[in-house]
Amino acid sequence: MDYLDQLNPAQRAAVEHTEGPCMVIAGAGSGKTRVLTYRIAHLINKGVDPFNILSLTFTNKAAREMKERISKVIGGTEARNIWMGTFHSIFARILRVEAEKLNYPSNFSIYDSADSKSLLKSIVKEMALDDKLYKVGFVQSRISKAKNNLISPKAYRENAEIMGDDEMSGRTKIVEIYYEYNLRLFKSGAMDFDDLLYKTNVLLRDFPEVLHKYQHKFKYLLVDEYQDTNFSQYLIVKKLAALNENLCVVGDDAQSIYGFRGANIQNILNFKNDYPDYKLFKLEQNYRSTKTIVAAANSVIGKNRDQIKKKVWTDNVDGDIIRVSRSLSDNEEGLFVANDIFTDRNNNQLSNKSFAILYRTNSQSRAMEEALRKINIPYRIYGGQSFYQRKEIKDLLAYYRLTANPKDEESLKRVINYPARGIGKTTLEKITIAAAENQSSLWEVISYGLNTLQVNSGTKQKLADFVTMIRSFGAQLQSLDAFSMAEHIAKSTGLLRELYADKTPEGLTRFENIQELLNGIKEFSESNLPEFNGEKPHLTDFLVDVALLTDADQNDDDDDKVSLMTIHASKGLEFPHVYIVGMEENLFPSQLSLSDRSELEEERRLFYVALTRAEKKTTLTYALSRYRYGTLNHSEPSRFIEEIDPQFIEAPEKLETPFERDSGFGATPWKGMGSSGDSRNFQRKEKYERPASPAPTVPPNLKRVSQVPNISTANATAAGTIVAGSQVVHAKFGKGKVLNVEGESPNEKATVFFPSVGQKQLLLKFAKLTPV
């Protein structure tokens, strides 16, 4: 069958429109990712060289799956040559080639979030700042936001006041930390995650010949999940696409869920300004979910004011009604979900991997895991502590990184005395001070400046031995293949021996983890990837983007396991049966979002994403009490439950108070029952029959909460004084600069740049903006 026949007319039109800018905006499950996949297949089929195609995906796993699909469609092995991956991994690869232009070694290290935090912690300490005022997480997110908005330390200083770092906040030193942090990264030959995009922008801005080279190389650009790109990513795409303008972006404004990290939905709205003759495609048919799920999701997202109106419909069956389960506690909630999966799986011969459990925060996985373990249901957690974040793995990787790039400060600090070799804290402090005095890296101090260091001769010898060892590894880097090198380092540093000697259960696990890493490297060594032209890859090749690997990127789709992940991580995925757990006020929507309409809308979009992951059946659960931050809290059901059109859900019976019931409520009613069967504890409503009056919009058991939190409208009067260029203060985001005001009274909208959160669009009559 012709592959174009596997598309509906709207999808097909988007696939066949190969030249010129185009945008596909469509609701969840309507085939946006499918359009990108088939579009690439179509390009290659038309004779476009896969090396000339750049496709940016949300995860590397998504890229892998897309390549597999393309191979199936067009046959052969051409698909492997497409440049496809996340922004970070693709541009890390390009930066390796171009690093020297930016005065970086091509083996530069990539600092993951934990490395960045560790560096920031040292800097705050060295600068003798109050670490309560300059909390590492806060400083990190400030700097990250600045980088994602391409604000250099210099620009940051010039705008220090609007950045909110004034005397009033007491945090005037962020910019100094930012300067020092960047300097230290540079001296370490390291980039953090945000630098991968920032430095790419610098590269494309300052080296026109490089820009030109990649503009010619990437004749066709495609971006999935465009709604979640930030400014830095937007600009890279814009620059690369400028020559050929063969750019196709797909996205759904209703699924923009990374605003808190600087993603900017404006990028969708700006597309028509950047490419006035672009072609817009809308897809309306959902192929993923049942009618019930599609209609329920539509009813929820309809509550958002800021959105591009879309139609989404489906030809699929009506399907099961959405169930709501109430439990007494988070542990009971876990038991309910586990038992429910157990019965459903057994009664209906389903596989474990048909089920996914989605939650708002990682910490909610604990109760779920315990319950699943109890009844032996295999599961897999995506996110949480990744394999690559385990101490023993980071230790060994630090040796590898140091071998490739001895200037890497964080790696050096990690292993200079591990396994213990008598190089103490005081010595390390002396080395750090000497490095600061000489404007050099720690490595330069111990390798060239040992004589000037005020330490005894025994310590000097130990440092010299360490340097000799790392150098000897470096000397073999190009002659040994990745696995031989990796194994040699693991053995000769004593790390393997140290872990082997530890016979505690934890020690055994750590040893096994190291074995697993080595196995992974062996597999990589023998993978025969095309970029290595038949030669065995080196350890440096393995290191290229190991810092960017996440659990989601591991390739074990063959495992039959229930998936557990945050809703954020579930973007773009689909599962037959989905449980959305922790449907409680202050958890989902999160407490922090309750006082701001745009943040509440982001939470609602998150709920929309969660609902639309399910193909057949969705179950919502909430608990009446939950341990959070070590204390037991009473919780109320989420307002989002009431926001679903009641004809699509069935909720538990009303109870006077949760504690007046006799027994076994909550998780237990379903125990041992076929999940689709008994509904004794539900009030079933007639499916698809609209209530005669609009009255019962709230399931009777649910306490009514106001739809929108109380928001002061006092600012409507201040709107007159708020114009482009003026500085304002927002109750939550702090100081900001108004970039633009549009619309007519009383609906004026202001675009404001807040250093704390990035660019925001606010309706003046609701936003608490005070001019300064």
In the complex, which residues of this chain contact ligand ATP (CB under 6 A)? 6-8, 11, 26, 28-34, 252, 255, 287-288, 572, 574, 612
Q: Which letter does DSSP use for residue 546 in this model?
A: G
Integer Rg of the chain from CA: 28
What does residue 353 show for φ and ψ, rounded to 5 degrees? -75, 0
The DSSP string of 432-448 is: HHHHHHTT--HHHHHHH
Closest separation between CB of residue 28 and Mg ion, Å?
Answer: 8
Partner interacting with residue 344 (select from Mg ion, ligand ATP, none; CB below 5-8 Å by kind): none
Cβ atoms 565, 360 nearer than 8 A? no
Closest CA to 333 of 571, 587, 570, 611: 587
Partner interacting with residue 610 (select from Mg ion, ligand ATP, none; CB below 5-8 Å by kind): none
Strand ranges for 226-381 from DSSP E: 247-251, 279-283, 285-286, 313-314, 322-327, 355-359, 379-381
Is 441 known as a binding-site position?
Answer: no
Please tell me the distance from the alpha carbon of residue 738 to that of residue 749, in angstroms, as a whole number: 10
Cβ atoms 152, 178 nearer than 8 A? no
Whichever of 11 and 109 has its CB closer to ligand ATP, that residue is 11
Of all helices (H) and strands (E), which one includes residue 111? strand 109-111
Closest separation between CB of residue 641 and ligand ATP, Å?
Answer: 22
Contact between 262 and Mg ion by CB under 5 A: the answer reads no
Is 736 known as a binding-site position?
Answer: no
Partner interacting with residue 29 (select from Mg ion, ligand ATP, none; CB below 5-8 Å by kind): ligand ATP
C-alpha torsion sign, points 652, 656, 657, 660: negative
Of all helices (H) and strands (E), which one includes residue 727? strand 727-730
- The owner of tokens 């049966």 is 577
Closest separation between CB of residue 305 and Mg ion, Å?
Answer: 24
Whichever of 66 and 667 has its CB closer to ligand ATP, that residue is 66
What is the amino acid identity at position 191?
M
What is each CA distance from 80 to 48, 75, 219, 542, 631, in whole angstroms? 14, 11, 17, 18, 51
Strand ranges for 340-424 from DSSP E: 355-359, 379-381
Whichever of 31 and 259 has its CB closer to ligand ATP, that residue is 31
Closest separation between CB of residue 287 and ligand ATP, Å?
Answer: 3
Residues touching Mg ion, count (CB under 5 A): 3
Cβ atoms 540, 107 nearer than 8 A? yes
Q: Which residue is nearest to Mg ion (CB)?
A: 33
Quick note: the x/- pattern for Mg ion over 559-578, rule CB under 5 A, is -------------x------
637 cis-preceded (ω within 30 degrees of 0): no
Sort residue 234 into left (φ over 0), alpha (ψ -120 to 50) or beta: alpha
Stretch that binds Mg ion, among 28-36, 382-390, 529-537, 576-584 (CB under 5 A): 28-36
Residues with a catalytic annotation lie at: 32-33, 224-225, 255, 613
From candidates 11, 30, 33, 264, binder to Mg ion by CB under 5 A: 33
Is 29 known as a binding-site position?
Answer: yes
Partner interacting with residue 30 (select from Mg ion, ligand ATP, none; CB below 5-8 Å by kind): ligand ATP
Partner interacting with residue 676 (select from ligand ATP, Mg ion, none; CB below 5-8 Å by kind): none
Is 27 known as a binding-site position?
Answer: yes
Whichever of 26 and 324 has its CB closer to ligand ATP, that residue is 26
Is 468 known as a binding-site position?
Answer: no
Is 28 known as a binding-site position?
Answer: yes
Partner interacting with residue 270 (select from ligand ATP, Mg ion, none; CB below 5-8 Å by kind): none
Closest separation between CB of residue 72 and ligand ATP, Å?
Answer: 12
Closest separation between CB of residue 364 and Mg ion, Å?
Answer: 25
Q: Using CB under 5 A, list all residues that contact Mg ion.
A: 32-33, 572
Q: Which residues are annotated as a binding site for ATP?
A: 26-33
Q: Which residues are annotated as a binding site?
A: 26-33
